Structure 1
Amino acid sequence: MPETETFRIPKHRRHVPGARQRVSKTLADWGITDELADDVTLSANELVTNAVAHCQVTHAQVKVTLTLREPYLFLEVHDPDRDRLPKPCDPGPDAEGGRGLTLVRLLAHGWGHAQLPHTKCVWARFMLPERPERTGHVPAAL
């Protein structure tokens, strides 16, 4: 059975840091640390920021879901502006933004989006590192 954590934030920039902290805490609670935790947290920050910045539905909420399902960790960010699909762009060197989806593409082992009946979902998939209990390897006794 996969582990899942879901939460919602109001569609406002001031709530993005709280979403990032919640993702980071969930990952720590699941024992996910180091580079993978940094990659997922940064990707969540970018996807939530995009949802907050580009969703044109008034008084909307953004839903964030993390799912741990071997061998992957999935990050999903939903917003109700289902017809505004994300488009990676190539900003100029002096642009202050526009690199979020490119960053997610580089950090994740896959990403995409889906139009659902009432929302759109932008997702990223991250490969979990192998641990001895996942491979059947038993450490030698000391």
Structure 2
Amino acid sequence: MTYELHLLATPKAVPEMRHSLRHYGYDVGLCATELVTNVIDHIGEGTPVTVRVARTTDGRTRVEVTDSDPRALPVLLHAGPDAESGRGLALLDTLARRWGVDQGADGKTVWCELEGEVRR
């Protein structure tokens, strides 16, 4: 079963999205938050996104965020101790079994896979 949510990437939408994902567990909400926040920070506030949560065939939970900009690709940074940002993908990299980007002509999907089944 796949859960899909369409929203505009705004700071106000993030807690509402997290609330709608609460049944999937804390890590799912945290990963979705980081991915949507990257859209806000690097593509622009108000960008339409689609958030998906699904079970993979090998029993993992997959979180995806799709946006319309195929060029703005996420970059894993190593933020210094005094940096005020730049830790989102490092957090995702730590929580997720794996993550990546599926790039298309009209957009991209940034995804991660977490251990364990989707709870609902």
TM-score (norm 1): 0.75
Distance 1:92 1:81 in 2: 28
**Gapped regions of structure 1 (runs ≥ 5):** 28-36, 130-142
**Gapped regions of structure 2 (runs ≥ 5):** none
Which structure has the bigger radius of gyration?
1
- Does structure 1 residue 118 correspond to structure 2 residue 116? no
More helix by proportion, 1 or 2? 1
More strand by proportion, 1 or 2? 2
- Does structure 1 residue 92 correspond to structure 2 residue 90? no
Check whether the contact 1:52–1:62 (CA below 8 A) recurs between aligned residues.
no
Distance 1:10 1:74 in 2: 21
Amino acid at match of 2:16: G
Identity of aligned residues (%): 34
Check whether the contact 1:110–1:126 (CA below 8 A) recurs between aligned residues.
yes
1:50-88 residue CA offsets vs partner (Å, 9 max, x unmatched): 1122114x8530110001234111100011111010001
Could you say which residue in structure 2 is the equivalent of 1:83?
71
Could you say which residue in structure 2 is the equivalent of 1:21?
19
1:20-57 residue CA offsets vs partner (Å, 9 max, x unmatched): 111213x2xxxxxxxxx22221111111111122114x
3-state SS, counterpart of residue 74 of structure 2: coil
- Does structure 1 residue 102 correspond to structure 2 residue 100? no
TM-score (norm 2): 0.88
Q: Which has the higher contact order (CA 8 A, sep 6+)?
A: 2
Distance 1:59 1:95 in 2: 25
Check whether the contact 1:9–1:15 (CA below 8 A) recurs between aligned residues.
yes
3-state SS, counterpart of residue 9 of structure 1: strand
Aligned residue-pair number? 116
Check whether the contact 1:72–1:127 (CA below 8 A) recurs between aligned residues.
yes
Could you say which residue in structure 1 is the equivalent of 2:27?
39
Distance 1:62 1:50 in 2: 11
Q: After TM superposition, what 4+ stretches of structure 1 lie above 4 angstroms from structure 2?
A: none
